[in-house]
Amino acid sequence: MSVLSGKKIILGISGGIAAYKTATLVRLLIKAGAQVQVIMTPASKDFVTPLTLSTLSKNPVYSSFFNEEDDPSHKGEQAKQNAQWNNHVDFALWADLMLIAPATANTLSKMVNGNCDNLLIATYLSAKCPVYFAPAMDLDMYKHPSTLASFRSLRDFGNIIIPAESGELASGLSGEGRMAEPENIVAFLEKDLESKLPLKGKKILVTAGPTYEAIDPVRFIGNHSTGKMGFDIAKAAANSGAEVILVSGPTHLQLNNSLVRVERVTSAQQMFEVCHNHFNNVDVTIAAAAVADYRPKNVAAQKIKKNDAAFTIELEKTQDILASLGAIKKNQFLIGFALETENEIEHAKQKIQKKNLDLIVLNSLNDQGAGFGKSTNKVTFIDKDFVIEPMDLKSKEDVAQDIINKIIEHYA
């Protein structure tokens, strides 16, 4: 999965012949999973139509401060009152990143000097997100001192240049100044974003879901865990740049991300073995699985028949995965979960000490909206120094991000 997946991108298009390439650029960004909002300068519409870009982006395309059909400059007083204002501030706050491609010499100069005479420049000046720009102009314009000064100023502002390429230009000349090809622009964005992810280079082991302990070939002892919390943690870790090994008990959930390797297990013993195979090679382990504490001591080879009025199963303890990892940990950051119904804080503190944890995520079944089978969770963080941080009721996705933020803070 591309790092651009889920990103909200403003694509600003200025008036150069390279604007014809933006149809392909929009298509590639959408294919990568991004949401794209196109803002055009009035001059750019001479090179590519808003209809084309709107169709490809699945969003309206904007090029003026008022909707074109309600433009008050050529309608009556009633039209002026009814005209819809296209708020550049709203666009700027919506975006995760802004890309201006092509960025002509004229647009670059306006960006540097704050010459705010169109919607694109107004949005740029309001942007709080990273801004990338891909210059496009003839070779002599590209090397002109004023253009080079614009590049320097924009870099000083914190903007990121996607360098022009060499090749045949619209003038018929050949040289530097040609806008980077759409495929190369997307690759540049992905590489730059990946390099800045806070957990880039870290390996994280996550456990998720229940375990099933066999009674016979048909029956098992299990629990109500869906695995959603662990899967959300794995996704959030990957989105922060980490390489993730997700060890999952039986669950219907799927996770398609190139940074996540899913290893499926059934029993507590299988999960124990897989976790120990990986533990020495990871930086962080998050034990979110609901692992069975007991399993049948003897598993019947054939289905047990329903004969007697009562049936007794002798159980034995499973190996404690979290405690066993805590006993051998070196520099790993070890996070456990605790699901309690009484004396929650004290039991969680005891688990921190007993299992040599760095952080515990405490769930209470007494809290409405928390527990198995729900889309929300309400947790309390307790670290190894017994600093207690209760959190509000949140979606499991948001709780997962809070957990990943704790890891980011640890490595900051």
Domain boundaries, the chain: 8-195, 203-411
* 3-class secondary-structure state, position 263: strand
Q: For the domain 8-195, what is the CATH superfamily, name and number?
A: Flavin prenyltransferase-like (3.40.50.1950)
> In angstroms, rounded to a whole number, what is the distance separating the alpha carbons of residues 92 and 127?
5
> What pLDDT is attached to residue 169?
84
The token pair that represents 96 in the structure block: 């995760």
Name the pTM for this structure.
0.78
When mean pLDDT is compared across 62-71, 194-203, 309-318, the lowest value belongs to 62-71
Domains 8-195 and 203-411 equal at CATH topology level: yes
Confidence of residue 76 (pLDDT cuts 50, 70, 90): low
- Residue of 59, 87, 223, 356 marked active site: 223
Provide the sign of the torsion angle of the four alpha carbons 369, 370, 375, 377, taken in this order: positive
Confidence of residue 371 (pLDDT cuts 50, 70, 90): low
Q: Is 257 a catalytic residue?
A: no
Confidence of residue 309 (pLDDT cuts 50, 70, 90): confident
- 65 neighbors 91 (Cβ within 8 angstroms): no
DSSP 290: B
Class for the domain spanning 203-411: alpha beta
Confidence of residue 1 (pLDDT cuts 50, 70, 90): confident
> What pLDDT is attached to residue 71?
39
* Closest residue by Cα to residue 259 from 300, 215, 200: 200
> In angstroms, rounded to a whole number, what is the distance separating the alpha carbons of residues 94 and 4?
15
Per-residue pLDDT of 233-285, as tens digits, reads: 999 999 999 999 999 999 999 998 889 999 999 999 999 999 999 999 999 99
> What pLDDT is attached to residue 369?
67
* Closest residue by Cα to residue 101 from 33, 180, 30: 180
Average pLDDT over residues 331-341: 91
- 241 neighbors 197 (Cβ within 8 angstroms): yes
Distance of CA 138 to the CA centre of its chain: 38
